[in-house]
A = this chain, B = another copy of it.
């Protein structure tokens, strides 16, 4: 598919994800790019685990944070994280396949709010994440 046939959301996320070494280390796959929305998938590996033998809290955070970044930049305006929070509800193990769904809860000129729900392969919610961005005046040139 040629670039001009892709949606703005997809072109922006192509630009962000193509140059994102850490998202690639995480093994993030894109399931859906849309305005104000992103769906991602990844599989947890042993090197992502902590001293309890379960995924380090930073892994689910990073995964949710990527979905948040893609969703918030998808309108074409460069947007930076102001504040994020996460609550880990169920332990994540090596081999688990996680899905993150980022949804826009509010959009204004300067600020926007997102909620990201992370579930495992059984559909259980493993983390609840939310974040706010500051929308800069700069556009993605894509």
**A interface residue numbers (CB < 8 A to B):** 15-23, 25, 46-53, 56-59, 61-63, 65-66, 69, 80-89, 105-106, 108, 110-111, 113, 115, 117, 125, 128, 130, 132, 134
Contacts and interface: CB of A to CB of B under 8 A. Distances in A.
Nearest to A117: B105
Q: What copy number does this chain have within its complex?
A: 4
Contacts of A19: 50-51, 53
Contacts of A16: 50-52
Nearest to A110: B134
A62 B61 contact: yes
Contacts of A108: 89
Contacts of A52: 16
